[in-house]
Structure 1
Amino acid sequence: MSNDERRVNRTERLFATILLLQNRPNMTSRDLAEHFGVSRRTIFRDLRALSESGVPLTYAEGGGYEILEGYQLPPLMLTAREAATLLVGTEFMKLQSDASLREDADAVALKIRSVLPREIREYIDRLRDRTVLDPYWLHAVQQEEEEEGRWYRLSEAVARQRAVIMEYYVESRDELTRRRVDPLGLVYYTDHWNLIAFDHLREDIRNFRLDRIRSMHVLMERFEWPEGFDLARHLEERGAGTASRRITLRFSKRAYRRARQAIPARIEEERPCGDEIEVTFYFENLDYVAGWLLRYGAEAYVVEPAPLRERVLALAEAMTERYRTAETGEKA
């Protein structure tokens, strides 16, 4: 273990000691040594360091250490692991297409870094230099200026229950529609954000992709929250609703390790099937699933429904024909 790693581990142990003594006072040095798996000499050094840093440690009459009542940790005290988790979170936000989210993520990361102890700050800096979530994505996240800040404005509309007027592109009909909606929540699916909202045009709760909103305006007018509405329950019910289809797929074990994390719905059942894994879930958009399955090639197979199998076959045949046509054209 390097000196830097030892310093980080000690810092984490010091934080943990404060929390432990606040919740379980009167612990002896032997108790603390057994809890952390270190020697009593190490515990004595830790306690001395805490006292020197201003933590009001006392030794109780009944034996054992405690911290005077009323002492609170500073507002932001993070272990290296917690700081690393926040780092991954801010790096994920930098993959968003909305430029304002990327700028906010940078600002948050800078503020967190500025209040970390030196040992953890250096650890985080090394981790940042050696962590890349997606080396190619940033080349594709170019967004038009008028779309910047859309996620934040919609999140405010959700929190403040403000109605929204928007122009929304319906891809299936190649049509631009005007909608008045009551925003109820934001959901992230695989690679894009979605707005869950009550659509006054359809008089129903619908899903709208943020990247298909062409323009929008948040009204000052408040809407009434639907009685008994719960976003998580709505999404679960929608996944198994009447519009959804039961989908059963088979993957090679190697492909399933990748595919499992990207399945666009809650997994209802998964079971081994010889050298393959069979998985069942409910989803309404068969075209989306068909396109998604192509990335796994011959290592994925549609068991049901038949219309999904037909869509995958049609896509594969279209790809084959395109390559065949291109090859024939080159030879000609």
Structure 2
Amino acid sequence: MNKMDRMLAIVLELQRNKVLRAEDLAATFETSVRTIYRDIQALSEAGVAIIGAPGQGYSLIEGYFLPPVSFTLDEAVTLLIGTDFIEQWFDAHYGNKARSSKAKIEAILPEAIRSEASQIRKSFRLFASAADIAPIQEKACLEAIRRAILEERKIRFRYSKRIAEADGNRQSIRTVAPYGLVLHQGSWVLVAWCELRQDIRHFRLSRMRELIDLEDKFILPADFQLEVYQPPDDRNVHVLILVHSDLADKVRESNNFYMETIEDHAEGLLVTFRVREPAELLQWVLGWGGGMVVLEPESFRHQVRNELEIMLKRY
């Protein structure tokens, strides 16, 4: 990074952070503290409103904003693709903001870069089928939940589990404190404290109905950070399946969340899955037809057989 690029980046860093020490900046830009001192002095002489507090660091005078910056071709393409992604996957509010941001970015680009960026974007696309793009129902929940997270308000909704509880019920009413949203394998998932379970639980937005904003407030735990949060892995049951060679490539590409290992076999593939309960794989296994055979556990083999017998009776 040359001196001018580094000096611009320093101002951007100071805009994002209230106070930064010379040591912090030196570590960020992989240079010496002495070089940072010289860059700060050059910026000050150029009229950038930087103030320094001994023992604390550097900051920008409140109200100072960096004038509009120019984008390289690659930066412009990256930003425009990002707006496409937001428009497809986020709620209406951010979808509209993505469209307006795209228009502003395109408007400030020099004609040569705008034309070349357009050509590059035409050469590839962020493809998603109608089934892949977040459904209208899911986007409606997304907008309401996003507001509740920002305002630290609880929500209540009717939730449908894919697998019934021990009492046979699949639906329940949940009151939760929403902690954050995660886009996982094409589906939006809410991470929240569930009052019914008295623990952190995950809820697919596509399975929520009758969502209600509550006036009850909650306080996000100081030790909870969504960006580093890792849910406990309670998938302790192994399922072994033999996949016929005709399906081998398709199964490899399916990227099933529960897939643990894949081994070549004379008849195709031996695939090991790790699940909480085998029923989580039932519909997936049935969907492949006769090209897939459950080897173990025996209880799951019986479950698949019983489901097939029910299907035969109906046909």
The match for 1:21 is 3
Asked if the contact 2:154–2:217 (Cα under 8 Å) also holds between the matched residues in 1, the reply is yes
- Whether the aligned pair in 2 keeps the contact of 1:95 and 1:137 (CA below 8 Å) is no
The secondary structure found in structure 2 opposite 1:150 is helix
Q: Secondary structure at the match of 1:211?
A: helix
Tell me what 1:115 maps to.
108
Q: How does 1:190-205 map to 2 (within 5 A)?
A: 190-205=185-200
Kindly provide the amino acid, as one letter, of the partner of residue 112 in structure 2: E
Q: 1:165 aligns with which of 156, 164, 181?
A: 156
Asked if the contact 2:89/2:133 (under 8 Å) is kept, the reply is no
1:91-240 alignment, distance < 5 Å: 91-96=84-89, 98-100=91-93, 102-134=95-127, 136-137=129-130, 143=136, 149-170=140-161, 172=164, 177-226=172-221, 228-231=223-226, 235-237=230-232, 240=233
Describe the superposition over 1:123-171 as per-residue Cα deviations: whole angstroms up to 9, x where unpaired: 3333444545446417986636xx7542133234334432223333455
How many residues align? The count is 257
**Which residue number in structure 2 is paired with residue 69 of structure 1?**
42
- The answer (yes or no) to whether the contact 1:164–1:218 under 8 Å persists in 2 is yes
Is the CA contact 1:101–1:149 (under 8 Å) kept in the aligned structure 2?
no
C-alpha distance in 2 between matches for 1:284 and 1:320: 28
1:244-255 → structure 2 map (5 Å cutoff): 244-249=236-241, 254-255=249-250
CA distance in 2, matches of 1:117, 1:179: 52
Q: Which runs of no fewer than 5 residues in structure 2 stay unpaired?
A: 8-38, 49-65
* 8 A contact 2:241–2:292 mirrored in 1: yes
Change (3 A) 1:191 1:227: same
TM-score, length of structure 2 as denominator length: 0.60
Q: Is the 8 A contact 1:95 1:102 kept in 2?
A: yes
Q: Equivalents in 2 of 1:206, 1:317: separation in Å?
A: 35
* Counterpart mapping for 1:32-43 below 5 A: none
Q: Extract unaligned runs of 5+ from structure 1.
A: 1-18, 26-65, 326-332
Q: Distance in 2 between matches of 1:74 and 1:273?
A: 62
Contact 1:264–1:283 at 8 Å: present in 2 too?
no
CA distance in 1: counterparts of 2:277 and 2:87, whole angstroms: 28
Alpha-carbon distance change, 152 to 233 in structure 1, aligned in 2, over 3 angstroms: same
Aligned equivalents of 2:111, 2:41: Cα separation in 1: 27
Native 8 Å contact 1:76 1:115 kept in 2: no
Q: Which amino acid aligns with 1:292?
A: W
Q: Which moved more, 1:294-303 or 1:103-112?
A: 294-303
Q: 1-side partners of 2:95 and 2:6: how far apart?
A: 42
Within 5 Å, give how 1:311-326 maps onto structure 2. Answer: 311=303, 325=315
CA distances 1:89-136 after superposition (whole Å, capped 9, x unpaired):
433444448555544443333333333333332233334445454464
2:157 aligned counterpart, secondary structure:
strand
Distance (whole Å) between structure 1 residues aligned to residue 97 and residue 147 of structure 2: 15
Taking the aligned partners of 1:198 and 1:77, their CA distance within structure 2 comes to 43
Q: Is the 8 A contact 2:91 2:143 kept in 1?
A: no
1:264 partnered with 2:257: yes
1:288-321 superposed Cα distances (whole Å, 9 cap, x missing partner): 4333345555665545444455555556666677
CA contact (8 A) 2:134 2:187 kept: no
Identify the structure with the greater helix proportion.
1
Q: 1:284 to 1:120 in 2, by over 3 A?
A: farther
- Equivalent position amino acid for 1:115 in 2: I
| Contact kept? 2:92, 2:143, Cα under 8 Å | no
RMSD: 4.3
Contact 1:99 1:143 in 2 (8 A): no
Identity of aligned pairs, percent? 27
* 1:200 Cα deviation from its structure 2 partner: 0.8
